[in-house]
Structure 1
Amino acid sequence: MAWPASGTSGGTAQRRQARLQSRQHGRGQRAQPPGGPHTGPNPTDRGKLGSKRHVITDRQGIPLIFCVTGANRHDSVVFEELVDALPAVSGKRGRPRRWPEKLHADKGYDYARCRAHLRRRGIKDRIARRGIERNDRLGRHRWVVERTHAWLAAFGKLRTRFERRIDIHVALLSLACCVICIRNLPPFC
């Protein structure tokens, strides 16, 4: 049998070398840090990258809509898109209300544009004023949302975000919201 001039048998050594290099490609490399538009430096955690959940609930604490943003993004920035994404309010017979009657929020949403957005939709705003009102007064209604955040944090995968991809994190949040809704259904029998 005649060997090629390069000393290899028809390119077998090159294929073997390429296969070995492809297997070793990922070894010794660190995973990329999480990034993208849904992460940002957390102002309360030494500037580490993180994300924040924004949730609108009903009176019982059942999540109606949520959004995930970077930890450095202010609450009032996503306020308008969350309110616009609210589902229609069901209730009495006839044409359903498009918007709820009133919306309770904490001091993070005390901005003229947030109040104006609610007025345009015909929603009464119950937003604590910065520097004027204490959180105690609004706390009578705000605890419902805080309890919903605690329910979400009870799911171990959501307590600390380990997923690098936002679509996986949003899918886990959606599943957790579904479980919360199912747990709050009245018993059938």
Structure 2
Amino acid sequence: MGDEVVTDGLWTRLEPLIPMRERRFRYPGRHRSDDRAALEGILYVVRTGIGWNQLPTGLFGVSGATCWRRLSEWSEAGVWQQLHEGVLNELRAAGRLELSRVLVDASHVRALKRGDHVGPSPVDRGRPGSKHHLITDAAGTPLAVTLTGGNRNDVTQLIPLVDALPVIRSRRGRPWRRPAYLYADRGYDHDKYRRLLRARGITPVIARRSTGHGSGLGKLRWPVERGFAWLHAFKRLRTRYERRAEIHQALLSLACSVICLRKLILN
């Protein structure tokens, strides 16, 4: 029942963002498949992790190929990012975002096909892999997620990840643009990036490599691990099957939108 409520809420927010297609009068071609059915098919693939060619056409009325094309088409139009930002705006208006500080971390995923943002993973015996770089609010709600090769150092993606933060608006007050504090583990310990954060008005709270465990920082930054657990509960994201990076990024943005919408509707 919860998934049905989320799907209904997702469609209500997605439909106005879908670009209108010009109708061809001379050669109209076949009737275009229903967008709502395509969305439900995409969600089914993301949740279950099945291949696009395994999508049960009789269940949704659209083929896996159609769902893939619709996912790509809406990705090119920027629909998925707009959807995520719109739900974040609603969360802030409802007072359900904790934006005084943000948390960052990265996670490896195996890439079964070559493509953009794929590299030899140092934690998987050099097999092809990618990384999900996630930044969340203090409660683990995903604010932005980026994709790189599995051989990229976490700290090199810190500033691009911060720059990927959306402007989050509300009914009252100024739009939120930057956090006051950023929390990260030892993988982000580099004075150069501390200076870059301070230049953006952000106070870095990053563990030092030379210090022992038990500093207490983990008590504050553990929700980003929960954010990854929520993200990778979508089975299609646990392993990267898509050769094109923008397709996998679209799936990441869609999953973030669903996570945020669950927090808004079901909590």
Give the TM-score taking structure 2 as reference length: 0.54
Report how far residue 89 of structure 1 moved: 5.4
Q: 1 CA distance for matches of 2:241 and 2:116?
A: 16
Query: Does 2:200 correspond to 1:121?
Result: yes
Which amino acid is 1:76 matched to? V
Question: Mean alpha-carbon deviation: is it higher for 42-51 or for 178-187?
Answer: 178-187
Q: 1:38 to 1:143 in 2, by over 3 A?
A: same
Query: What is the match of residue 14 of structure 1?
Result: none
Report how far residue 86 of structure 1 moved: 1.5
Q: 1:160 to 1:114 in 2, by over 3 A?
A: same
Answer 1 or 2: higher relative contact order, Cα 8 Å, separation at least 6.
Answer: 2
Question: Mean alpha-carbon deviation: is it higher for 91-100 or for 141-150?
Answer: 91-100
The 3-state SS of whatever aligns with 1:126 is strand
The correspondence for 1:39, drawn from 115, 118, 140, is 118
Name whichever structure is richer in helix by fraction: 2
The correspondence for 2:245, drawn from 162, 166, 180, is 166
Q: 1 CA distance for matches of 2:156 and 2:130?
A: 14
RMSD: 2.1
Query: What is the match of residue 146 of structure 2?
Result: 67
Which amino acid is 1:40 matched to? G
Q: 1:130 to 1:92 in 2, by over 3 A?
A: farther
Which amino acid is 1:59 matched to? A
- Max radius of gyration: which structure? 1
Report how far residue 36 of structure 1 moved: 3.8
Q: 1:89 to 1:132 in 2, by over 3 A?
A: farther
Query: What is the match of residue 216 of structure 2?
Result: 137
Query: What is the match of residue 234 of structure 2?
Result: 155
Q: 1:148 to 1:174 in 2, by over 3 A?
A: same
Aligned-pair identity (%): 54
Question: Mean alpha-carbon deviation: is it higher for 140-149 or for 179-188?
Answer: 179-188
State whether residues 116 and 245 of structure 2, in contact with CA within 8 Å, keep that contact through their aligned partners in structure 1: no
The correspondence for 1:55, drawn from 121, 134, 138, is 134
Which amino acid is 1:156 matched to? K
Report how far residue 171 of structure 1 moved: 1.3
State whether residues 89 and 99 of structure 1, in contact with CA within 8 Å, keep that contact through their aligned partners in structure 2: no
State whether residues 113 and 241 of structure 2, in contact with CA within 8 Å, keep that contact through their aligned partners in structure 1: no
Q: 1 CA distance for matches of 2:212 and 2:195?
A: 20
Query: What is the match of residue 256 of structure 2?
Result: 177
Report how far residue 35 of structure 1 moved: 2.9
Q: Per-residue CA shift, 1:54-105, capped at 9, x if unaligned?
A: 0100112111111100010001111111112222355795444531110111
Q: 1 CA distance for matches of 2:241 and 2:176?
A: 39
Which amino acid is 1:177 matched to? C
